[in-house]
Amino acid sequence: MHSSTTAKSDTSSGNPVLGKIWGFIVFLWDWVAVRVKNIDIFDEHYQDQAKTNPFYALGPIFYLVWFLTMGTGLILIMWYVPTKANAYDSILAIQADVPFGNVMRGMHKYGADAMIIAATMRMFRMFINADYKPNKELNIFIGLITLLLSMYSGLTGYLLIWNQRAFWATKVFATFPTYMDQFPIMGDYYEPLVKSLHLGWNTAEVLLGAGGAITQETITRFFSLHLAFSLIPLILVEIYFYNNNYNRIPLNWLKRTVITLMLVIVAIILPAAQGRRSDPDVTPLPILSDWYFLGLYQMYKYLEPVVATEITLLIPITVIALPFLETWISGQEKDIMKRPFMLMTTIMGGICWIVFSLLIIANIANIHNDPPFWRSFLYLTVDAGIVWQLVLIWKSKDPKEWAKGKLPSIIMTGVALIQAFWAWVYYYMAKTEMFLSPLGQGATYGLLRGSLGEKADELEKAVRTVVPAGTQMPYNTDFVVAINGWLAKIPNGKPALDQIEQIKNVQTGWDGLFQAIPKFGAENDVYKGMADFVISNKWVFDYVTLCDRMGWSGEKVAPYPLEVPTVDLYWMWGAVITALIGIVTWFVCHNNSKQNPDAAKPAAGA
């Protein structure tokens, strides 16, 4: 293996470019190999710490409870009937007629809850104690996968009860993937101009079955997924432990017995709820999921479904990225009080989840007044962590620490600037009630319109003629095709439309870029150029709408622009102030490193 690597390195040494590429490949391979070697699936490398610190026993506890949940589940399968007609009655029979059936079902339900609790606590422990350092960032990914599999296994099992609450919670949950079809680029927004994968609707079809309604297909698929989410990972984990000769559950028999008895006692004292039989004709209010998804449902109340779905996908991506980002900021430091950026971010995530869950249980959700407060809390908490982290740099008296502060300060400045950018975007979204796609398209056209010269004013005037201010446009059709339906009702509509068609042929310096974009579903397979693209895809219309709703064009459209609550400006200003502090810190660190060039050099042997 080593000789092969050396040989390949020698063959590429004659070409500097190939040498750099090969060097990067080797570096990337080593980087991944080190992190894969340091993976902890269930804290198997922390067995000594687990003897004195119960938080490091969360991995083994999860594994033990997983076995108990699987074991009781296999027993329940003997009597459970996964059909619409018999599912609910089979649960009743298990509860009443099967010896200890109520205890088995209670242990299965509360065991699944215990898995989620243990996985969640373990994630927070890993962030607080910096268990992703050094070179263990992939442990966060493993921990997140463990949590998500537990949650989705619980979600699929939730429907199997076939009661009223589970039926409607599943119906709401399975609806949200369809909003992915409205995401920028990947969705149906540009169809038929750009081919769509229909990823959202296809996902719903896979979950629910043909037609996207909850039918017998749904319960069959959820039953199989419920088994797959637990059984397949369990087999893979068993292979991992066998190949590495790890102790699966390093807990003594007393601890194992106590944990098992806890589940038995809870199952006896608090029998698993059965609820009322599902009724597709009666919608319960409020519609509640199982406890671990309550916070997410509250977020869906506050936001437009498309935005809420985007954030739902962004949350796990952020969780995976955080350990890498925080390592660049604080290095190998593990003391949480010296890692305030991570501390405040973790606190923010925990509080949002708990408070949102309590609010939906209490059925409290003012969709007009509440979001500005939690938005400011969310972002200002992160800003407080960034400023606190920058203050630690300022308090340092060691020139080496000042020199090492350049990278952290610029990274945290970047985080603040990204927040400031989205605050600016949100400001216009709130003012105009335009979603991200049309707002971004209108803004992009605004940057490109100069290349059209005088034709830009003519084009926008023609667009205002054929589409009167305040008109809502369908999103999934060609702009010219869309307006043909009402063209006869518009004075001077035909001449304006002809003018728009002529402007499609105007040449610009950007034409080569836009001609490379396929034009699916149209007579021609490519666009003529930039003008054709921005007209066909309604970028001009979005720009005109933005200008009219903001009152920039003199064509003010009531009731726009809308007022933005004062409290919703706090996080916007907080981002700007935080970024300024970060920039000042970087300059100070930069000047300090220039005055002390040796301070930035690693110590001998490091």
| Residue 114 and residue 208 share a domain | yes
| Residue 398 and residue 463 share a domain | no
Using the 3D structure, point to which of 278, 300, 334 is the last residue of a domain: 278
| Residue 483 and residue 574 share a domain | no
Pair 596, 399: CB distance under 8 Å: yes
Report yes or no on 317 lying in a domain: no
Is residue 602 over pLDDT 50?
no
Q: Return the higher-pLDDT residue of 191 and 417.
A: 417
| Residue 451 and residue 395 share a domain | no
Domain enclosing residue 20, as ranges? 2-37
| Residue 511 and residue 415 share a domain | no
| Residue 48 and residue 28 share a domain | no
Report yes or no on 492 lying in a domain: yes
| Residue 144 and residue 238 share a domain | yes
Using the 3D structure, point to which of 228, 257, 278 is the last residue of a domain: 278
Report yes or no on 28 lying in a domain: yes
| Residue 546 and residue 410 share a domain | no
What confidence tens digit (pLDDT) does each residue in 91-137 have? 999 999 999 999 999 999 999 999 999 999 999 999 999 999 999 99
Report yes or no on 558 lying in a domain: no
Report yes or no on 512 lying in a domain: yes
Query: Chain centroid to CA 454: how far?
Result: 43
| Residue 89 and residue 15 share a domain | no
Is residue 603 over pLDDT 50?
no
pLDDT at 192: 52
pLDDT at 367: 72
Of 108-112, 383-387, 477-481, which gets the smallest average pLDDT?
477-481
Is residue 599 over pLDDT 60?
no
What confidence tens digit (pLDDT) does each residue in 324-353 have? 999 999 999 999 999 999 999 999 999 999
Of 51-55, 377-381, 406-410, 482-486, which gets the smallest average pLDDT?
482-486
At position 473, the amino acid (one-letter code) is: M
Instruction: Tell me how many domains the chain contains.
Output: 4
Give φ, ψ of 91 to 5 degrees: -65, -40
| Residue 374 and residue 521 share a domain | no
Is residue 524 over pLDDT 90?
no
| Residue 457 and residue 414 share a domain | no
What gap in Å lies between CA 291 and CA 358, rounded to an integer?
Answer: 10
* DSSP per residue, 436-505: HHHHHHHHHHHHHGGGGTTHHHHHHHHHHHHS-TTPPPPSSS-HHHHHGGGGGGSTTHHHHHHHHHHHTT
| Residue 260 and residue 197 share a domain | yes
Taking each helix axis from N to C end, the angle separating 305-330 and 406-432, rounded to the nearest 10 degrees, works out to: 170
Report yes or no on 594 lying in a domain: yes
The CATH number of residue 147's host domain is 1.20.810.10
Report yes or no on 389 lying in a domain: yes
What confidence tens digit (pLDDT) does each residue in 527-559 have? 889 999 898 888 999 999 999 999 898 777 888
pLDDT at 166: 87
pLDDT at 3: 46
Is residue 566 over pLDDT 80?
yes
What gap in Å lies between CA 332 and CA 140, rounded to an integer?
Answer: 16
pLDDT at 604: 33
Report yes or no on 336 lying in a domain: no
Q: Give the number of other CB atoms < 10 A from CB of residue 571.
A: 23
Of 67-81, 176-190, 264-278, which gets the smallest average pLDDT?
176-190
Mean pLDDT of 30-45: 91
For residue 561, is the peptide bond before it cis, meaning its omega torsion is within 30 degrees of 0?
yes
What gap in Å lies between CA 16 and CA 22, rounded to an integer?
Answer: 10
